[in-house]
Structures are given as structure tokens and as C-alpha cells.
A and B are shown apart, each in its own frame.
Chain A
Amino acid sequence: MDAALLIHRLQFAFTVTYHYLFPQLTMGLAPLIVLLKTLALRTGDQNYDKAARFWAKIFGINFVVGVVTGIPLEFQFGTNWSHFSRFAGGVIGQTLAMEGLFAFFLESTFLGLFLYGEKRLTPKQHWFAALMVSLGSWLSGYFIVATDAWMQHPVGYVHDVHGSVQLTSFWQLVLNPWALWQYAHNMSGAVITGTFVMSAVGAFYALEKKHVEQGRIFVRVGVVTGLIFSLLQLFPTGDESGRMVARHQPVTLAAMEALWNTQPGAPLVILGQPNPAEQKIDNPIVIPKMLSFLTWRQWAAEVKGLNSFPQEDWPPNVPLVYYSYHIMVGLGTVFIAVTALAALLLLGRKLYDARWMLWVLLLMFPFPYIANTAGWMTAEIGRQPWLVYGVMRTSEGYSKMVSAGNGWFTFLGFAGMYTILSALFLFLVLREIEHGPEPVGAGPTVPADASASLAEVR
């Protein structure tokens, strides 16, 4: 690979992967905070209110990092991928501009209200602000997924005389079938991150025997919603996303399964290491005929292998696509098992005493991040060598005027910047978790200098 192409890809991959660690929690937590606030309004139970306020703090820190790491992505379309932007801006400029206009304004306005305005609003208005923040972050997610979906499965466009593409159908772009399933799958994945983080913090408090009431709320809400969305992640959203790949990117599907030769009744690989040199899987553990069934709903159906396609159209890194996909699916299965077990214990009122299960819930929180990252890697590395599937190759899209040296300069700068950001983020979040939710009774009505006056009394 050309040195400049390599660094442009590396920088985008790095900045987008790092960025998405934050929005997935933003989008996952936002509806959970709304849920907690709804429960608080409905039941009048102060514990829910305190729980919501605690998560709003984490949300606020997380949101800031999400915003500041998101801005470089829009910029990089121009700075690093200018040939792609010139080529496709007439189409995907639509969704990107709409994100700014419809989602960001909504999100930032109501976030200001939500974080700074609790005392100026009635509880219902504050609930509404939380709902709008949630809606804004989900809308933002849709426009981004729609943009990516167009790159995966371009629709509603035509080539113009200058060799660029132009929009012909707004609704085809916005309602791209690829976008609908990808969005459902992606958002469900984000909620899983939110629920696992929530139940992990709850399990931590339960194990430490601190903030017991709130801790139980976190575990309960986390486990129940976690189970629902882990199931939705597999079916229908994951299943339909997979079939979409099979229909429109059969070569990507072959890479995901490391299937070199076309065969009827193709097996589903559970474990094993792809061996590109010998075009086989080492140490395979497989379910016979399962891939054919999952893809075409027929046990004997033929699934096309990589060798049925010209090698120049293969994803260049087959093992990486295979591993990304298998890590995602494997972890997704683990999520169902863990949440189902925890939900059973919850149902039998044994969860809060089952310390081993609380440990599992605590230790699970990094894995949804890994699964979501692996899922995006499957989609984006699986799309290679295309930048716009079947229309523009990645090697044609980067900024030809920006040299590899300049690319490395900014890449290293981003790496340094994100190291600092990570340290600050972890420090602040761990501090909030250590501090924990306020106990019931202490509210925002207590003046800020209450501790000082208490000290005087003592």
C-alpha cells in the first residue's frame, strides 16, 4: 500500500474507533436516564432521581469527550479524504449537513438545559430535556449510519459529467434499506454498552456494600434492558444485517466466514484460524450447513466463496475481517447468556446475594465496547477495497496533495491528544463512581456551603 494511503487510513481508523467509544455510551445511557427519570416521576421514589442524577454526571463527562473527538471526523472528510469528498459530497453531504442542522442543535441545546438547568425547570420539564437529548443523540446516530450505509450500498445517485456522483432521490438515500437494519443493529449495540456499564457500576456497589439502594436499581435496570437488547442484537437486527451483506456484498460475507470455496450446505465456523496461504481454516469447530441456512434459509443453499470473485475485489485482510466478525458474534452470544442468567437470579430474588454473578457483571463492562468496535471493523474493513462499494476504491479517495509525512505528524498528534483525553476521562469517571450517587434526602436544595456550616456546629 502506498505510504500516504496507509497513513490516511490509519488516522481515520484510529480517530473514528476512538471516537465511537464515547457516543455508544452516550446513545446507550441517554434512554436509560430517561427511563430512570420516568420511573422517578411515576413512583415518586427519590432513589430513581438520585440514580438519574448520578448517571447524568457520567453522561456529561462522556458527552464532552464524544463531542470533541467527533469534530475531527467531519473535518477529515475534507482534510484527509478530499478526493472522496469531491466525488461523493453531492450525495453524503446531505446526510452530514442534516446531522448538524437537526441533531446537533437539538442535542446541544437540551444538554445545556439538562445539565445546567435542573433548578430552573420543573421535574417534568427536566424529564423532557433528557428525552430531547436522547432523541438528538439517536438522530445523530441515524444520519451517520445513513452516510455509512450509502458507502456500503450506494443508492439514489447518478454520475455527473465531471465524474462525481449527484443525488437523484433524497428518500432513497435517507431510507436506504441497508441504513435501517444497520441502524437498528448499531443502536441496540449502543444500548447494550449502556446497560452493561450501568449494571457493572451497580454490581461494584453491591459488592462493596456501598450505595446499596441505587446499586440495586442499576443492576436491575441494567440486567433487564441488557437482556432485551442482547436478544434484539441477535435477532432480528443482527440476522437481517448479515443477510443484507450476503445479498449485496457476497465477497465480504465470504471473508467474514473465511470461506474460500463456493459450496452448497456451507458450515458456520465457530472457532478456528484462517490460513490464507492454504485457503482453509485451521483447527475448525463448525456447525454443518448452518451458514447456508442463516444466509438463505435453506440447509443446502450454495454460499459463494472468495474464489468465485476476482481477487482484486477481496477485502485485502481476510483474517482481520474474519476475527472482527467472530469476536462480535461470540461476544454477542456471551451477552445473552450472562444477562439471561442474571435475569433468572433476579427473578428468584437471589441476584444481590450471588457474589460470583455480581463479579461477572462487574467484569463484563469492557466487552460491549469490544463487540461494538469489532462490529464496525467487520463493516468497514469488510467493505474494502472499496470506499463506496462497487463505485470508488479506497485508493482513489484520499487527499493526494497531503504527503505521508504530514499525515504522520497529525496522526501522532491525535495519538498524543487522545492519550491525555483518556487519562482525564478515566480519572473523572472513576472519581464519580468512587463518589457515588447522593444519598436520598440530600438534594440540590441543600446550599453549597452546607458542609461548612455543619463543621461549625460540630
Chain B
Amino acid sequence: MLTLWFMIVAVMIAAYVLLDGFDLGAGAVHMFIARTNEERRSVIRAIGPVWDGNEVWLLAAGGTLYFAFPLLYASAFSGFYLPLTMVLWLIMLRGIGIEFRVHIDNSLWQGFFDVIFSISSILLAIFFGAALGNVVRGVPLNAEGYFFEPLWTNWRVGTENGILDWYTVLCGVIALVTLVVHGSLYLATKTEGELNTRTRKAASLLWPVQVLLTIISLIATLYVRPGILANYQTWPIGYLVPLLVAVSLLYLIFALRKQNDKGAFLASCGYIAGMLVGLVFAVYPMVLPASTDPRYSLTIYNTAAGAHGLTVGLVWWSIGVVIAIAYFVFIYRMFRGKVRFDAGGEHGY
């Protein structure tokens, strides 16, 4: 039961990263690949109808985490107090950047929100990566299962951890590069002409960086958490996951060369899913390792809610997620195809 809920939360977080990831990535490259106002409008329109729904996965994943593993939620959220609050501010700025831009047809107004949208998207990608880095590296949990991390200490990986050190910054950079590629490929599927060419160019330029960083991160993770491969040794089937990552990366560049935008985007999804699954598989059943004393580590066993609640939750969660997926299939079909201003119409109001 607990393992099931662990998987559910992991899948929801992965869904969030895959979905909101492309609109975050699109925001991060927005200023660089879309030059004219027309092109920037295309970028906004490509994500306009879906970004809010994508972001709901964060709330739904957060809510599910809260419900299934209350102590993990309480401990992680209060421990990451400062960066999470900053994430909130960035999410706010980004939301109004997307939605308020269209209201006034004035180049100063739109330029202002373009910058807000881009900067907040870039910083969010880095923050989320750094957050994952913290979960892998471990945090200074006390005996009650709580901790508090300052933003940075001495930038080293040790017991006096800050949110940011060389390892978590590395994770942040990987996340940014990955999501920029992801977002560019999504935009490639939604755009035409010069903008389309530039999205592909951005993705192919960054691809070697992505490969290099993937390898570096693997080595760095083995250095920071030497025992992290234990689960892979116990269940060798897990090695299929790194294989998926490698295959996805290779297929990504292959599809991009063939100008198969959809294939490349799917490959990027495969890569991200592989990286996350690989990570989750490695840490299970631990959810937040302690850098202080391994006995203080939070696992699915010492953080979960009561059995009755989890059983009941399984019923409504299954119903709810089926409905949610139906909505998503529906709305992505509704807004499928390339962004065009004549046929698709301007912002509906």
C-alpha cells in the first residue's frame, strides 16, 4: 500500500515535470528564439490554453503528498522554507507574465511581461532541479524529522548543508538545460517557419550539453551518495531505466535531424521520465535522506498517513485521475496542431 502511494506521488510529480516542464522550458527560451512580436505571441498561444492545467499537476501532486505522507510534506516544506517561498513568488510572476501580457497591445507592456515570464521560467527550472538535488544529497534532519536549511553555507556537500552547493547547483543547471530542450521541442511541434527552425536549432545546440551534463551528474551523484546503486544491485531490472535514458537521448537527436518534431519531443519526455524514475527507484523506500544521522532519514514507512485514509484515498484518487486524464486528452486534442492566428483566432476574449 505504501509503495503504491509512493509510486502514485512519483508518477504525479513526473507528470508535472513533463507537462509544466515544456511550458517552463518554452518560457526560458522565449526571449532567445522568438524575436518579433508575432513570434512571441505564437509562443504564448502555444502554451496559453494549457499552462494552468499543467501547473495543477503541481498542486495535485502536492495535495496527494500531503495526504499520503503528511510528515514528509511537513518536514520538506518547512525545511525548504526560503526556496519554496521564492518558488511561489516566481510562479506568481510567471502566471501574470503569461496572462496579463495579452491584455494590452503595447510594446513596452508586452516587453516587460516577456522579460518577467522568461526570467521566472529560467529561475524556476533551476530551483526545481536544485530541489531534486537536495533530495538526493540529503538534508540535516533532526530526531523529530524536521530540518531547516539556509540558502547556502559553504557550497560544499557535507553535514552543514545549504540549499545550494556545487552539487545542487549542478542539478539546477541540468534541469534548466533539459527543460529548455524539452520546451524548444514542444514549440517546434506547435510552430512554423523561421520560429520553428530556431526552436530546432536551440535543441540541437543544447543536445551535446545535455549529454555531457547527464554523464557528469551520474558521476557526481555516485560521489555524493556512494550507496545509491544498492537498489539496482538488488533488482537488476532497474538497469533498464538508464538504458531508456540513453536510447531517448540518441533518438532525440536522430528525430531532430529527420525534422520529426513530435518524435523528438516524445524522446525528450522519455529522457525526463527515465531520469526521474531512475532517481526514484534508487532512493526507494527512502524519501528524504538525513545528512546528519542515517537513522533520522524519512522513509515511506515513518511518514505515511493512517491505513484507513490511504485505502479510502485510493478509491477517489483512481476516479479523479481518470477524469483528469480525460480532460487532458480532450483539451490537447482541442488545441492540437500548429498555432495560427487566422484560423485559431485571437485570444478568445
Contact = CB atoms under 8 A, between A and B. Distances in A.
Interface in A48-95: 53, 56-57, 60-61, 64-65, 67-69, 71-72, 74-75, 77-80, 82-83, 85-86, 88-91, 93-94
A102 B323 contact: yes
Interface in B46-104: 48-50, 52-53, 55-56, 58-64, 66-68, 70-71, 73-82, 84-85, 88-89, 91-93, 95-96, 99-100, 103-104
A102 B53 contact: no
Contacts of B49: 112-113, 116-117
- Chain A binding surface, main DSSP class: helix
A399 B81 contact: yes
B106 to A, nearest CB: 11
Given A69-B92, A101-B63, A101-B320, A410 B82 contact: yes
A314 B334 CA distance: 56
A232 to B, nearest CB: 30
A100 B59 contact: yes
A133 to B, nearest CB: 12
Given A75-B77, A93-B309, A421-B92, A86 B70 contact: yes
A276 interface: no
A74 B78 contact: no
Interface string B305-346: 110110011001100110110011011001100000100111
- Chain B binding surface, main DSSP class: helix
A307 interface: no
B148 A401 contact: yes
A101 B317 contact: yes
Best-surrounded residue of B63, B73, B75 (most CB of chain A within 10 A): B63
Interface stretch (A165-173, A211-219, A319-327, A349-357): A165-173
A89 B60 CA distance: 15
A117 B81 contact: no
Contact of B146 (A61, A82, A113, A116): A82
A115 B78 contact: no
Contact of A105 (B60, B305, B334): B60
Contacts of A57: 349
A116 B324 contact: no
B348 A400 contact: no
A99 interface: yes
Contacts, number: 238
Interface residues of A, number: 73
A417 B89 contact: yes
Given A75-B84, A93-B66, A118-B348, A68 B95 contact: yes
B313 to A, nearest CB: 6
Contact of B349 (A60, A78, A80): A60
Contacts of B71: 86, 89
A402 B34 CA distance: 42
Best-surrounded residue of B48, B147, B327, B335 (most CB of chain A within 10 A): B327
A201 interface: no
A413 to B, nearest CB: 6
A109 B308 contact: no
B152 to A, nearest CB: 14
Contacts of B88: 71-72, 75
B312 A94 contact: yes
Contacts of A94: 67, 309, 312-313
B312 to A, nearest CB: 4
Given A96-B63, A421-B96, A105 B78 contact: no
A94 B327 CA distance: 22
A109 B51 CA distance: 10
A96 B316 CA distance: 13
B54 to A, nearest CB: 9
Nearest to B342: A447
Interface string B119-147: 00000000000000000000000000111
A75 B55 CA distance: 14
Given A77-B66, A78-B73, A117-B334, A410 B81 contact: yes
B347 interface: yes
Best-surrounded residue of A57, A78, A428 (most CB of chain B within 10 A): A78
Best-surrounded residue of B48, B88, B95, B334 (most CB of chain A within 10 A): B88
Contact of A101 (B60, B70, B80, B341): B60
A60 B99 contact: yes
B345 A109 contact: no
A105 B147 contact: no
Interface string A191-223: 000000000000000000000000000000000
Contacts of A115: 347-349
B78 A401 contact: yes
Given A93-B67, A112-B53, A428-B100, A409 B62 contact: no
Contacts of A88: 70
Given A90-B306, A111-B52, A409-B82, A119 B348 contact: yes
A160 B308 CA distance: 12
A164 interface: yes
Nearest to B313: A94
Interface string A209-250: 000000000000000000000000000000000000000000
Contacts of B348: 114-119
Given A93-B63, A104-B56, A166-B305, A79 B320 contact: no
Nearest to B76: A78
A410 B56 CA distance: 23
A49 to B, nearest CB: 12
Best-surrounded residue of A60, A101, A104, A119 (most CB of chain B within 10 A): A101
B53 A82 contact: no
Nearest to A60: B349
Contacts of B60: 97, 100-101, 104-105
A167 B309 contact: yes
A100 to B, nearest CB: 4
A90 B78 contact: no
B345 A444 contact: yes
A108 B52 contact: yes
Interface in B8-51: 48-50
A61 B103 contact: yes
B95 A67 contact: yes
Nearest to B305: A90
B85 A108 contact: no
A410 B317 CA distance: 33
Interface in A262-293: none
A99 B67 CA distance: 12
A89 B316 contact: no
Contacts of A421: 92, 96
14 contacts: A78-B76, A89-B66, A90-B305, A91-B309, A98-B63, A99-B63, A100-B64, A101-B63, A109-B330, A112-B52, A112-B335, A116-B48, A402-B81, A424-B100
Nearest 3 CB-CB pairings of A with B: A89-B70, A78-B77, A93-B67
Given A80-B81, A102-B320, 5 more contacts: A71-B59, A71-B88, A100-B59, A109-B328, A118-B349
